[in-house]
C-alpha cells in the first residue's frame, strides 16, 4: 500500500531533504544538494523565491517505509510570463516502482488542479538557476554540484505515466587547450574597441560588491524567453550571489561594461566542488568546509555556470569577450576541463561559442509535460 503525506513540520522537511542520501547510498555518480540550503528552501524568511510561489512537499510511504518524495510549485511568475496554467514538479526521487512515481505525480496534479491549473511539467525548480531536468543520458557520469543525478528507471517511469518531452538540455565536457584560439581573442578585442566597452577585473570582494547585482540583472534580461525562465526579484538575486560567493574565483568572473559602467555582458565559471560535496554528503561540518576550501584552491575542472549578453548587444561579438576572459582565467589556473552544465539543445548560439575546444557531449536531461486530468 502506498500512502502520500504532505511534509509540513521541520521533521518532515528534514526527511524530505535526507531521502536521496538513502536512495543513492554508495552511488558514485550522485552529488547531493547542500543540506542546509534545501532545508532553508522551505522557510519563507530564508527563501525569497517563495514570495512568487506556492509550494507543497510530499512524501511517499510504502508499507510504512519512506520510498519517495516530490515538490509541487505553483509559480505565479511562470504563469504570468507564459500564460500557461501549469504546476511545476521538482525534487522528485523514488524507488524503482512506477506506482510510487504515479502516486507522487498525482499528489502534485491534485495540488495544481485545486489551483485551477491545467498542466504539470518538470522537473524544474524555483527558477532557471535552480535544478532543472531529469537525466535521460549519462547515467554513468558524475553529476556536477549544480545539477541533479537520477537513476535510469526515472525517465522510463515518466514514459509509462504518459508524460511527453517538453524540452531537452545537453551537457558537454570541454577539454581546455593550453591557449585560447587567437581568432577568438581577435574578435574579443575588436568588439571591445568597436562598442567602447571594457572588461573589468578585481578581487572577489570588489567584483561582488560593485557588479554582483548588476551582473545577475543582466543575466536575467539576457535569458528572457528561454525555457522555464522566470523574473528574478532582487532578493532572489542576492541569495544566488550569496551562494556563489563562497566558491567563486575572480579569475573565472567576467564583467563587460559600457562607458557608464553598466553591465552589458558577462558570466562566471565555478571551481568544481562535486567530489568535496559528495564526500561530505551535503553537510557543512568543519571537515566538510576544509574539503570545500581545498577543492576551491586545487581544482582542475571548472563548471561553466552563466554566460549572458544583453539583447541589444547580442550577435556583436561580446560572447567572445566573455569566453576569452573565462577560458584564459582557467588556463592560468591550469585547469584541464570545463563542464557546460545544462544548455538547451536548440540554443545553438551557446553551443557554438565553445566550438574551438575539443569536447564530448556526455549527458542529456529532459523536462516533461502532460495535461492534468479534470
What percent of the chain clears pLDDT 70, i.e. is strictly above it?
100
Q: Give domain limits for the chain.
A: 2-169+367-371, 175-364
Angle, CA 285 vertex, CA 279 and CA 288 arms, to 5°: 35
- Position 21 scores a pLDDT of 95
For the chain, helix, strand, coil in percent to 5 are: 40, 30, 35
The grid coordinates listed for 4 are 502520500
CATH class of 2-169+367-371: alpha beta
Average pLDDT over residues 258-276: 93
Residue 367 predicted with pLDDT over 80: yes
- Position 193 scores a pLDDT of 94
Same CATH topology for 2-169+367-371 and 175-364: the answer is yes
- Position 306 scores a pLDDT of 86
**Pairing relationship of beta strands 164-175 and 198-200 according to DSSP bridges:** unpaired
Which residues are paired to 168 by β-bridges?
A: 366
Average pLDDT over residues 358-365: 95
**pTM of this structure:** 0.92
Q: What is the pLDDT of residues 69-120, one digit of tens each?
A: 999 999 998 898 888 999 999 999 999 999 999 999 999 999 999 999 999 9
Q: 3-state class of 53 per DSSP?
A: strand
DSSP readout, 137-172? E-TTSPPPTTS----THHHHHHHHTT-EEEEEEEEE
Which phi and psi (to 5°) does residue 75 adopt? -105, 105
Average pLDDT over residues 298-304: 93
Q: What is the pLDDT of residues 203-258, one digit of tens each?
A: 888 998 899 889 989 988 888 878 888 878 788 888 888 777 778 899 999 999 99
- Position 236 scores a pLDDT of 81
More confident residue, 197 or 349: 197
CATH class of 175-364: alpha beta
Q: What is the pLDDT of residues 158-197, one digit of tens each?
A: 999 999 999 999 999 999 999 988 888 898 999 999 999 9
What percent of the chain clears pLDDT 90, i.e. is strictly above it?
64
Q: 3-state class of 308 per DSSP?
A: strand
**Pairing relationship of beta strands 134-137 and 119-122 according to DSSP bridges:** unpaired
Instruction: Compute, in degrees rounded to 10, the torsion defined by CA atoms 280, 284, 288, 293.
Output: 130
Amino acid at each position: 500500500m502506498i500512502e502520500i503525506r504532505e511534509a509540513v513540520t521541520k521533521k518532515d522537511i528534514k526527511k524530505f531533504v535526507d531521502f536521496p542520501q538513502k536512495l543513492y547510498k554508495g552511488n558514485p555518480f550522485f552529488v547531493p544538494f547542500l543540506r542546509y540550503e534545501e532545508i532553508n528552501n522551505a522557510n519563507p524568511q530564508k527563501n525569497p523565491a517563495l514570495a512568487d510561489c506556492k509550494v507543497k512537499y510530499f512524501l511517499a510511504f510504502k508499507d510504512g517505509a519512506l520510498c519517495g518524495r516530490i515538490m509541487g510549485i505553483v509559480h505565479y511568475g511562470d504563469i504570468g510570463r507564459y500564460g500557461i496554467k501549469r504546476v511545476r514538479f521538482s525534487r522528485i526521487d523514488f524507488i524503482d516502482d512506477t506506482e510510487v512515481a504515479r502516486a507522487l505525480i498525482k499528489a502534485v496534479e491534485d495540488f495544481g488542479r485545486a489551483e485551477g491549473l491545467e498542466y504539470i511539467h518538470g522537473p524544474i525548480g524555483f527558477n532557471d538557476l535552480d535544478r532543472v531536468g531529469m537525466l535521460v543520458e549519462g547515467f554513468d557520469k558524475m553529476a556536477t554540484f549544480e545539477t541533479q543525478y537520477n537513476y535510469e528507471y526515472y525517465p522510463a517511469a515518466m514514459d509509462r505515466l504518459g508524460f511527453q518531452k517538453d524540452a531537452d538540455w545537453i551537457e558537454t565536457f570541454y577539454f581546455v587547450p593550453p591557449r585560447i584560439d587567437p581568432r577568438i581573442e581577435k574578435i574579443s578585442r575588436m568588439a571591445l574597441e568597436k562598442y567602447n566597452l571594457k572588461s573589468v577585473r578585481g578581487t572577489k570582494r570588489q567584483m561582488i560588491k560593485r557588479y554582483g547585482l548588476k551582473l545577475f540583472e543582466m543575466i536575467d534580461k539576457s535569458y528572457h524567453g528561454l525555457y522555464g525562465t522566470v523574473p528574478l526579484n532582487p532578493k532572489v538575486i542576492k541569495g544566488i550571489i550569496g551562494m556563489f560567493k563562497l566558491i567563486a574565483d575572480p579569475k573565472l568572473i567576467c564583467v563587460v561594461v559600457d562607458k557608464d559602467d553598466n553591465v552589458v555582458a558577462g558570466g562566471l565559471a565555478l571551481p568544481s566542488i562535486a567530489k568535496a560535496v559528495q564526500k561530505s554528503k551535503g553537510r557543512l561540518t568543519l571537515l566538510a568546509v576544509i574539503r570545500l576550501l581545498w577543492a576551491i584552491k586545487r581544482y582542475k575542472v571548472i563548471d561553466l555556470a552563466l554566460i549572458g549578453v544583453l539583447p541589444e548587444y547580442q550577435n556583436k561579438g561580446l560572447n567572445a569577450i566573455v569566453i576569452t576572459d573565462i577560458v584564459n582565467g582557467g588556463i592560468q589556473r591550469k585547469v584541464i576541463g570545463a563542464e557546460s552544465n545544462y544548455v538547451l539543445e536548440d540554443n545553438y548560439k551557446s553551443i557554438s561559442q565553445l566550438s574551438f575546444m575539443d569536447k564530448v557531449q556526455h549527458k542529456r536531461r529532459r523536462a516533461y509535460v502532460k495535461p492534468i486530468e479534470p
